[in-house]
């Protein structure tokens, strides 16, 4: 255990990770989504892709816990279940690709996804009809693939609800419950496949503390009547993080990547 703590303390950018986790938790606390969209571009700068995913799902198990009771009451649980089933089916395919991708390619993909969602929502994409059952399962499949490949299971589901006529309270509750279910599925799949390693798991537990605090701060700011304000703020944060995290801004990408992989190899 002391070696694991030493490896965590030696990670470059640990302070940025903690700050990013708090911001991610705050965005999720008032919107019900956005934690992965904020965290993954930041984590991709300092951690190998698999570690970024593991830390995300571990900390996200704890972060939304204070918000679950109210989300359970407000959510359409049937829709959440159908979307989750579709996602769990497709998730292993995305994870298989994640294990083969280069860290720099991973970062470009994550940043691109983070930027595409706010642009689509700002352009006023709207669902022409109701959220049918086939659409729920299909959105889940797409979400599971993207989640396994890029650590971002939320964008397809977020886009589905933001483009529908669902109320702010139900949208927030559905997305929050769905993301918790997917985090549990991620942990189960990674554990069964032997991909859960000690350092990112412990780091995820450490990051859960600022994540919980951020969720509580965001939830305290949530007011249904201010939906537009929160929506615009959340989209702005996502776009800023996505742009600033593109690898083209790096001056030391190679050194950072080598250092991260050295820590990963020392743990194996």
Q: Where are the domains of the chain?
A: 2-267
**pLDDT more than 70, % of the chain:** 84
| Window from 114-128, 145-159, 245-259 with minimum mean pLDDT | 245-259
Range with top average pLDDT, 8-17, 38-47, 201-210, 252-261? 201-210
Confidence label for 254 from pLDDT (cuts 50, 70 and 90): very low
Confidence label for 224 from pLDDT (cuts 50, 70 and 90): low
- How far apart (Å, rounded) are the C-alpha atoms in residues 104 and 151? 14
- How far apart (Å, rounded) are the C-alpha atoms in residues 35 and 27? 6
**pLDDT more than 90, % of the chain:** 17
The mean per-residue pLDDT over the stretch 152-180 comes to: 83
Which are the contacts of 221, defined by CB distance < 8 A and separation ≥ 6?
A: 26, 29, 30, 230
CA 27 to chain centroid: 11
Question: Over the stretch 57-85, which tens digit does the pLDDT of each residue have?
Answer: 888 888 777 778 888 988 899 999 999 99
Which are the contacts of 6, defined by CB distance < 8 A and separation ≥ 6?
A: none
Contact 205, 55 (CB under 8 A): no
What does 53-114 look like in DSSP terms, one character per residue? Answer: HHHHHHHHHHTTGGGHHHHHHHS-HHHHHHHHHHHHHHHHHHHHHHTTS-HHHHHHHHHHHH
Q: How far apart are the first and last CA of the chain?
A: 14
**Would you mind telling me the total number of residues written for the chain in this entry?**
268
């Amino acid at each position: 255990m002391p070696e694991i703590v030493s490896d965590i303390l030696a990670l470059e950018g640990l302070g940025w990770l903690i700050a990013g986790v708090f911001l991610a938790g705050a965005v999720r606390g008032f919107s019900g989504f956005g934690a992965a969209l904020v965290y993954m571009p930041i984590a991709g700068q300092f951690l190998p892709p698999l570690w970024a995913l593991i830390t995300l799902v571990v900390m996200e198990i704890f972060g939304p816990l204070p918000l679950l009771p109210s989300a359970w009451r407000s959510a359409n649980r049937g829709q959440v279940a159908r979307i989750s089933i579709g996602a769990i089916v497709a998730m292993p395919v995305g994870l298989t690709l994640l294990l083969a991708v280069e860290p720099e390619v991973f970062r470009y993909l994550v940043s691109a996804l983070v930027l595409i969602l706010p642009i689509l929502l700002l352009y006023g994409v709207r669902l022409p009809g109701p959220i049918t059952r086939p659409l729920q399962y299909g959105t889940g499949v797409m979400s599971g693939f993207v989640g396994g490949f890029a650590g971002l299971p939320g964008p397809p589901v977020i886009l589905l609800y933001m483009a529908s006529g669902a109320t702010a309270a139900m949208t927030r509750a559905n997305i929050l419950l769905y993301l918790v279910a997917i985090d549990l599925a991620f942990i189960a799949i990674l554990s069964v496949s032997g991909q859960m390693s000690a350092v990112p798991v412990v780091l995820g537990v450490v990051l859960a503390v600022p994540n919980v605090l951020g969720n509580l701060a965001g939830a305290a700011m949530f007011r249904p009547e201010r939906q537009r304000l929160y929506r615009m703020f959340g989209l702005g944060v996502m776009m800023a993080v996505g742009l600033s995290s593109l690898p083209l801004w790096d001056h030391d990408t190679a050194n950072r990547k080598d250092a991260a992989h050295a820590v990963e190899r020392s743990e194996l």
